[in-house]
Structure 1
């Protein structure tokens, strides 16, 4: 049993999660508005999606991989539209002067599910994991189910570790922010998230437009 694969998975999961894109911005904003748990559960949604796609690559689920790649257009449309919706909701949300209290299980579940959906609808995620697993000789279960399982578990652990560190760090900053600063953060975050959603949809519109003329 090669536990070095688990450590490699942790490093991979942490590296994939760390770049600040629309998911990171949403998790930061939710930590500020709803508390550390909301930000953490949002991040765990992304970690679960990363582990899911890692499983598809590692265990050779070619039928699933082929289906997802075949539906990449609709996944991109769904993800882009959902990002625009979340961006608009963030843009017009009103911050509170008081630090967030404990969040109910229903809201935590919604935070988890929304980020899981956004991550799953990015078809590039599975391609990146296939590339990494191929480089390690584990694509399609070539290195054995146990080896692939260790790497996938590490991916989830590394990604979850990043979101834990991010939510705790941002939560500490929340106590030093007033309503005006939080309002500005909501406004900027909303615009950035909308721009990511528009960036996913705009090339599709251009391609459709060129196909008509």
Structure 2
């Protein structure tokens, strides 16, 4: 296998790993869908890019075996998970209480804060330290990152992880945006309520899981 073929193979493997990490529709997916419907494709896609960026950072920690960071996350895993659960619950309540009609009117008068959309999902995805161990398992299975390879070769695999995640969020938000024009205001109201309830429930389950691990 020549150098170009090897790099292309690593890039594709990284993209597959990025897709595998992004496709499961947890609270992040629901948030991206809700923002796409209420605020537009760019808002939803940039929110997804926040998740892809956080996943890539976790993949870098896993791939380069930054043991001191992994130890830090392991030691504080419970509190990080608890904070993440609380944030998800609060976000669910906020979405549930939001009136999509007034939100649409505000978005017409001023541009959505796209940086806030990106950063909020980046931080929310970053509150799940277990993702590091998920990437460790995926890298070990796929044989993507090796300490025998140069750092630049490993960076190609990490670029693939980001591109795979970005591709998924582009497909998802583009699909949702395509059907967005068919939604009526009453349907938007219900979508907000259902999205908020789902996100709140997922956050509540995360908190209960932490309580169960600590006390039982």
* Structure 1 and Structure 2 fold alike (TM over 0.5): yes
1:158-173 equivalences under 5 Å are 158-173=164-179
Residues 45/103 of structure 1: CA separation in 2 closer, same or farther (3 Å cut): farther
Aligned-pair CA distance for 1:174: 1.3
Equivalent residue number for residue 127 of structure 2: 121
Unmatched 5+ stretches in structure 1: none
Determine the structure 2 residue equivalent to 1:32.
Answer: 37
Indicate the SS of the match to 2:25: coil
TM-score of the two chains, using structure 1 as the length reference:
0.90
Give the aligned partner of residue 20 of structure 1. 25
Are 1:60 and 2:65 counterparts? yes
Q: CA deviation at 1:34?
A: 0.6
Alpha-carbon RMSD: 2.0
Q: 1:34 to 1:56 in 2, by over 3 A?
A: same
Would you say how many aligned residue pairs link Structure 1 and Structure 2?
209
Unpaired runs of 5+ residues, structure 2, are: none
CA distance in 2, matches of 1:156, 1:205: 33
Partner of 2:141: 135
Q: Report deviation, 1:138.
A: 4.9
- 1:43 equivalent among 48, 64, 86: 48
How far 1:172 sits from its partner (Å)? Answer: 1.5
- 1:31 deviates by 0.5
Q: Is the 8 A contact 2:145 2:157 kept in 1?
A: no
Return closer, same or farther for 1:36/1:170 CA change in 2, 3 Å cut-off.
Answer: same
Residues of 1 paired with 2:36 and 2:174: CA distance? 9
Matches of 1:121 and 1:159 in 2, distance apart? 18
